[in-house]
Structure 1
């Protein structure tokens, strides 16, 4: 076991990682929930510049990534869209349970690419004056499950059922809305926020009290146990630099 692995994830390890520490550069493959795709790519670039290690990002729905990990996919780190999937992997012996931590707290938003479609309280859902509403598959994507919670709280589940279009992931859900195949959809705030503002269209940022918390946890997978770059990436994710990037996409940390 290397010196870094013995002390990770303490502060000393973080300082060693960020300074380069003379470590041989390695590569890490990071499985990333679709809602966190853009921040993950930005963090991966900054991580490489800071440490010399390379991080390759593979994006998918949390449910699909879980299945791939269980089937032997060569991922070393998982950035999940929930806290339950990493915990499950830890309990099943597929990941290092003690390494799990919350790297971001997500926000759900009802968004339309067009201005004036979605009001700032989500009353448009009660009106039903639209053809299709997109959401991620609630069985695979925590953001989809959150959308189901919101519709149930508003009492519109039954009336909206014929209008629902499901994406496999929150990424595909966003594409449904962006392409115009759905008039609006429940997506991640990070997908439509640029420099602290919603870039285009109209939106309702859903109060976090209307659904289960979107705590997004990271965990070191078994394939990353002896990978210096994997340990370094987990440490970098907790750095001030990474946290600032995460906040810039509308997440809490």
Structure 2
């Protein structure tokens, strides 16, 4: 019995060593709007595969510049489809690795309950002093916000009241801390388990801005990284798609 237990222990130790030896780390650049679901996805991926995920969150435009300057990312989850397509044309990604992992939704949100009506008429009333949006040149959700206000014919009127964040994450902070009474953010930032977490919001109709298709790619640095390939595959799995939907995205 002692011999069997010892053999079993040695076998388990060998399996553990083999698993740890094959585990790798994947460096992922993630659009700020996808922060909440990404944290859950990364934790589940680590538990299921043994690989480690090192995620950085920020604006798509800034990540593009960093990647161009040699940033050590293996995978890029952008907030648009144009930036990954551009990297593909520049031969900066693993061929055939680009795919849409989510389609985002834009909302006008206030941390105050009852402040934003369900038709967005608060914009026309223009009774606020500050409205926040992400930098359109860096953040696709900021561009969608700009397109929305122009489509509504309100851009020039509201422009003097803009508070502009470098990313959608900073934009959310401006609103949640009261530095702006309301602003445009990603639905995923204020929506979880199929319901609004706090405040009040207007879901911006999709016909007021271009589609926010969010693409993922494996960058050239990650071409030989097993964890990068497995993470990209994991994002396409049905359980992950179901999870992403609970944060208000279409998949």
- 2:90 aligned residue: 92
- 1:83 aligned residue: 81
TM-score by length of 1: 0.90
Helix, strand or coil at the partner of 2:22 = coil
Helix, strand or coil at the partner of 2:66 = helix
Superposition CA RMSD, Å = 1.4
Can you list the C-alpha shifts for 1:105-163, whole angstroms capped at 9, x where unaligned? 00000000001211111111111100100000000000000000100111001110110
- Map 1:44-83 onto structure 2 (within 5 A): 44-83=42-81
Structure 1 residue runs without a partner (length 5+): 1-19
Q: For this pair of structures, how many residues does the alignment match?
A: 234
1:227 is aligned, of 208, 212, 225, to: 225
1:165 is aligned, of 139, 163, 175, to: 163
Helix, strand or coil at the partner of 1:98 = coil
Deviation at 1:23, TM superposition (A): 8.1
TM-score by length of 2: 0.91
1:33 is aligned, of 25, 31, 34, to: 31
- 2:236 aligned residue: 238
1:250 is aligned, of 233, 248, 251, to: 248
- 2:8 aligned residue: none
Structure 2 residue runs without a partner (length 5+): 1-17
Does 1:188 find its partner at 2:171?
no
* Structure whose alpha-carbon radius of gyration is higher: 2
- 1:102 aligned residue: 100
1:131 is aligned, of 129, 135, 151, to: 129
1:87–1:97 contact (8 Å) kept in structure 2 = no
**Residues in 1 aligned to 2:20 and 2:170: alpha-carbon distance in whole angstroms:** 41
Greater Cα shift, 48-57 or 222-231: 48-57
- 2:197 aligned residue: 199
Does 1:122 find its partner at 2:120?
yes
**Residues in 1 aligned to 2:194 and 2:102: alpha-carbon distance in whole angstroms:** 16
**Residues in 2 aligned to 1:25 and 1:180: alpha-carbon distance in whole angstroms:** 44
- 1:4 aligned residue: none
Runs of 4+ with >6 A deviation: 20-23
**Residues in 1 aligned to 2:87 and 2:154: alpha-carbon distance in whole angstroms:** 35
2:27–2:75 contact (8 Å) kept in structure 1 = yes
**Residues in 1 aligned to 2:25 and 2:46: alpha-carbon distance in whole angstroms:** 10
